[in-house]
Structure 1
Amino acid sequence: MNDLIMPLDLHNTIVTSAYLKRGFNQDEADKAARFCAMASWHGIKTHNAIKALHLDDLFGSGNQKSQGCTPRAEIEEIPNRFKACTVWNAHKKLGQAVAFNAIEQAMTLADEYGVGIVSVDEAFHYLWGGGYVMEAAKRGYIAYTCCTAALAEVVPFMGKHPTLGTNPHSWAFPTMDALGYPIVIDWATSTVAMGRVQQFKRENKQLPPDAAVDSKGNPTQDPHNASALLPFGKHKGYGLSLINELVAALIGGSLPTLRSRPENITTGTIEKTTPNFYFQVIHPDAVSSGLFADKRNQSENTKAVILDILGHGNENCLLPGQLEHQAACESDKAGGLLFTEAEILEFEQIAKDSDIPFTIDQLVAHQV
């Protein structure tokens, strides 16, 4: 069956209502809906509204034993002596709202100092990091973010027990003039994200090889049996995942095996269970030498480099961010967000829980 088209306004009404019902304020709910729509518009099925609300149920405002996300929390700025750097205590505020604010702050700092850094402690997961840096790149900046994942679900290279998060890295580059879309390099440091495992469960698909292990540590491609994930590229993915943990540790981060797992805290000790964010935005002028060959300017030189990489018989190669751009074009062509029938059935339940009248029968199929 073809994907079904959900109008953007309907999607945002359902998602905003779901967050408002959970006690979040209007700004938080609006930013949550904005984020979820942005992810779906670009074909990111692992971090759409279904994933966002599920994460909040498990580890956020819906967790009655240990609330990892606090509706209506206020960000506290922690004083530091570096003008280009901002450090926040998020007080477990909704991750999407914090991240949108952080990337805006980093761009403001980059305008003044050439580079802007925002570090966030006591956070709740922001989901798809690529979306935030993509927005910055569309506005002309080089942007990077990394975070520690909500759970330690990844087994380190040559290890047996999951002690790392999926720990994504996200870079975006201002290539709108050169390509018509920003290059976005965004990846979890596990072979697949846990959101992909959940997606494959819904759609009864098999995982790729060397992506997951079962409860006994044996490799499995069955998403229903996946107990922990493996780092991509063996020691290389492990090293990249370790970067996130070390950056977080320097900010003030929690022990990986305790994140979102307060039940693992030893009685009598005081430990944290929250993720951390790191944002960095660079103004292109801040890195430019001006010494571009053949009288090219910075934008022309960037395009020339990309064309050289994709030349010489490599013309059919994909660029990072190209698939997201194509998905966005397809969403634009459809005039709405594209979801599978299984996803729409999830939205039916979300709408029902939020007293929003909606059924799958209201939607039409996308004609490819």
Structure 2
Amino acid sequence: MPESYVVSLDTHRNLVTAAFQARGFTAEEADASARFCELAAWHGIKTHNALKALHLDEHFGSGNKKRQGCVPGAQIEKLPSKFAASEKWNANRKLGQATAFDAMDRCIELADKYGIGQVSVDNAFHYLWGGGYVMDAAKKGYIAYTNCTAALAEVVPFMGKFPTLGTNPHSWAFPTTDAIGFPIVIDWATSTVAMGRVQQFKREGKQLPPQAAVDKNGEPTTDPTQVAALLPFGAHKGYGLSLINEIVAGFIGGSLPTLRSRPEQAGEGEKTTPNFYFQVIHPDAMDCGGFARGRNQADNVKAVIKDILGHGNEGCLLPGQIEHQAAVASAKANGLIFTGAEVAEFRELADALGVTFDAAEAATA
């Protein structure tokens, strides 16, 4: 089997849409999921593509027979807020991708009016790759941020023994396309690796980096088949960043981390859902006007980046550059690039759904 394939956008979209509609999601929700999965795959995000989205929904979402973590067709309830630039939403366990796209769009509307906008979301279902949503906003000219609590507590706190934190990603994006050709996107899980990366390496028979995970006995392991929990990156620093998400969620209405997505362990009245936080800033709201040598805001941002990458640092990468390079490769291939292992899973899914997944459309990349 070839190492990689190109799958057409239409083939991918039809399969993902069919998969979510088969689980009872509305056409609008299925379309949002397909849009998100395409965005992730287009930018080379292997840990949060369609296979991950379906895996999450199967185990913790609509597929959870005890208590659905994600409810097809759920409606968002917008709660009263005394602050004009801030909104509070009860997602009612709606599909995370659809909720996140709507929340980021609303933040943009608020930022256009007030200079800044934020949306806090309670009773959510994981939205997967936060970088996709902020990147989308940055391409439209905005500074954007989001964080969320991960679906499960899979990370051991610094100096701890038991996983009580999520992988809890932070995602920032900046409108730097005019300056450097792509948005700077700073997006990371607060664990050394995401659990999606563990699953990817397991599919592909690869080993994890050292100090990324522990086995059931709490001992470090690089074998993805033996992983019981993950470790925070940067010791106490990654721990602190992960803790931020849990505390922010606590202010919103978050569940106890160890009960998240585990309804079978939750007592009466306990919540088991993740939380989202979104923020968008209009660049004009930050412009103090005092740029050196008569530069405007855009010129100054470009000059700052040039200075950072100067002085012998010309070979350094900027966050978002790898994703941009993946997008360039996808555009050149005129489709989405997947590994042979991923294509095999897609074919299995297509067969189960009775959807056409023509191998002739999957040419070697």
Q: TM-score, normalised by structure 1?
A: 0.98
* Equivalent residues of 1:18, 1:353 under 8 A apart: no
* Equivalent residues of 1:167, 1:188 under 8 A apart: yes
- 1:270 Cα shift? 1.1
- The superposition leaves residues 303-327 of structure 1 with CA deviations (integer Å, 9 ceiling, x where unpaired) of 0000000000000000000000000
Which sections of structure 1, spanning at least 5 residues, go unmatched?
none
- 1:360 Cα shift? 3.7
Distance 1:91 1:8 in 2: 31
* Equivalent residues of 1:148, 1:167 under 8 A apart: yes
User: 1:217 is matched with which residue?
Assistant: 218
Distance 1:260 1:360 in 2: 36
Match status 1:207 vs 2:208? yes
- 1:362 Cα shift? 4.0
Distance 1:318 1:166 in 2: 24
User: 1:301 is matched with which residue?
Assistant: 300
Match status 1:176 vs 2:177? yes
User: 1:280 is matched with which residue?
Assistant: 279
- 1:263 Cα shift? 1.9
* Equivalent residues of 1:89, 1:122 under 8 A apart: yes
| Alignment-mate amino acid for residue 202 of structure 2 | K
Q: 256-265 or 178-187: which moved more?
A: 256-265
Distance 1:259 1:300 in 2: 45
Match status 1:349 vs 2:348? yes
Distance 1:81 1:348 in 2: 50
Distance 1:12 1:168 in 2: 26
* Equivalent residues of 1:75, 1:88 under 8 A apart: yes
User: 1:43 is matched with which residue?
Assistant: 44
- Report 1:61-140 matches (<5 A): 61-140=62-141
Q: 320-329 or 353-362: which moved more?
A: 353-362
Look up the SS of the partner of 1:196 in the other structure: helix
CA RMSD of aligned residues (A): 0.8
Look up the SS of the partner of 2:39 in the other structure: helix
User: 1:195 is matched with which residue?
Assistant: 196
Match status 1:330 vs 2:329? yes
| Alignment-mate amino acid for residue 251 of structure 1 | I
Distance 1:2 1:117 in 2: 42
Distance 2:291 2:231 in 1: 42
Distance 1:219 1:262 in 2: 29
Which sections of structure 2, spanning at least 5 residues, go unmatched?
none
Look up the SS of the partner of 2:199 in the other structure: helix
Look up the SS of the partner of 1:184 in the other structure: strand
Look up the SS of the partner of 2:145 in the other structure: strand
Over the matched positions of the two proteins, sequence identity in percent amounts to 68
* Equivalent residues of 2:66, 2:264 under 8 A apart: no
* Equivalent residues of 1:345, 1:360 under 8 A apart: no
Distance 1:275 1:229 in 2: 19
User: 2:157 is matched with which residue?
Assistant: 156
* Equivalent residues of 2:6, 2:361 under 8 A apart: no
Look up the SS of the partner of 1:120 in the other structure: strand
- 1:149 Cα shift? 0.2
- 1:351 Cα shift? 1.2
Distance 1:350 1:249 in 2: 37
- 1:95 Cα shift? 0.1
Distance 2:40 2:73 in 1: 23
- 1:357 Cα shift? 2.0
Look up the SS of the partner of 1:220 in the other structure: coil
| Alignment-mate amino acid for residue 319 of structure 2 | P
| Alignment-mate amino acid for residue 328 of structure 2 | C
- 1:2 Cα shift? 3.9
Look up the SS of the partner of 1:281 in the other structure: strand
User: 1:315 is matched with which residue?
Assistant: 314
- 1:200 Cα shift? 0.1
Distance 1:170 1:245 in 2: 15
Q: TM-score, normalised by structure 2?
A: 0.99
